[in-house]
Copies of this chain bind each other. A is one copy, B any other.
Amino acid sequence: MSPWKAAQIGDHFDQIDTPALILDLDAFERNIKRLQDAMSGTDVRLRPHAKSHKCPDIALRQIKEGAIGICCQKVSEAAVFVAAGVPDILITNQVVGEKKVAHALDLAQRARIGILIDHEDQVSAFARASANRKIKIDVYIEIDVGMGRCGVASIEQAVELARQIDQAPYLNFMGLQCYHGSAQHYRLPEERQSAIAAVCAKASATKEAIEQLGIKVERISGAGTGSVMLERDSKIFNEVQAGSYIFMDRDYAANQRDGNDLHFEHALFIKTAVLSHPTQDRAVVDAGLKASSVDSGMPAVWQRQDASYLKASDEHGVLKLTAGSSLKLGDSLMLVPGHCDPTVNLYDEIVCVRDDRVEAVWPILARGAIL
């Protein structure tokens, strides 16, 4: 990592070195409150996804504001949050392999931990290891609700896994993971509605079939920032896992809004500066692929009409300028990343700004925790 920091607490915004990951604290706090408020008075719990921020300071803030716990995507990621004092984590992923199973059980001795299962070999691995060590762990069955990634394809498979889990004394069957990742990014509200309606139908039918065995399905969990109000109002889901809502990114902002959607604000930016201005219509900034993930497209230039981000190489971003652009060598500007999660994962720290002052610098402690 860099031997020096982009910013110190108390710095003026203009003093922040570039490129730097910036959090607009006012917008961030409004985003947290908006989603938490939307859950109040319902029986739907908020368990925000921490893969978006990988930052214990943010997780603890979300919990303080009413979140029941967090989601993580990796065992090593969860370990960072357990060490920071987060008491309740659902690892929304299949945990496979002897080492990973052992690490998950280690964590389950120190916090409430849940994991996903979609294969009988996983049930037997966890059943055996948890019984040997006499450690209880929560288990959710993931069902494929339409995104074609993980999860059992059929209701019959889910029922069979529930039966097996129920027989394992140290596996605490909790319910179903029903996350439709691609639906989060469908552009039209009616596309998202129709996808989530299908998710709910499958979740509901699976729950019913499992409960016919006399096995209680206590929890149906899922949803992301693009669809969270649909799951909230579904009467099927009782837990939601949105993560990006705290930051927003260019991709999520491109979704057309339904009348019931919450308005989340852009709170995450990359401060960058012009390092070359070789022609009137071209400038080059110091934030490229290693400062902003381009998997969901190029970042957007924030609140400037005279520049657009054309292409990225490792350490360069090429801007196309309009005629008469006032941008000069050394000028700084803000970018909105195309995809917040992998962008945050590039940085060691997030510089938190309010009223043009650096109020805090939060370490992204789970950056790179992919095991």
Which positions in A face B, CB cutoff 8 Å? 1-4, 6, 17-20, 51, 73-74, 76-77, 79-80, 83, 93-97, 99-100, 103, 118-119, 121-122, 142, 144, 148-153, 181, 273-279, 282, 284, 286-287, 289-291, 293-295, 312-316, 318, 329-330, 339, 341-342, 345-348, 365-371
B368/A347 in contact, CB under 8 A: yes
Could you say which residues of chain B place their CB within 8 Å of the CB of A4? 76, 79, 103, 371
B97/A330 in contact, CB under 8 A: yes
Q: How far is the CB of A84 from chain B (nearest CB, A)?
A: 11
Chain A at the B interface: SS class = loop
Could you say which residues of chain B place their CB within 8 Å of the CB of A318? 148-149
Provided the pairs A73-B315, A284-B149, A318-B148 are in contact, do residues A118 and B273 lie with their beta carbons within 8 angstroms?
A: no
CA distance A290 to B367 in the complex (A): 9
Could you say which residues of chain B place their CB within 8 Å of the CB of A80? 2-3
Q: How many copies does the complex hold?
A: 2
CA distance A74 to B288 in the complex (A): 12
Could you say which residues of chain B place their CB within 8 Å of the CB of A118? 276, 278
- Which of these, B3, B121, B274, B342, contacts A330 with CB under 8 Å? B121
Those 10 A-B pairs whose CB atoms lie nearest each other, nearest first: A2-B76, A150-B276, A94-B275, A2-B369, A73-B315, A1-B368, A96-B275, A2-B371, A289-B342, A3-B79
Could you say which residues of chain B place their CB within 8 Å of the CB of A150? 275-276, 278, 284, 316
A345/B342 in contact, CB under 8 A: no
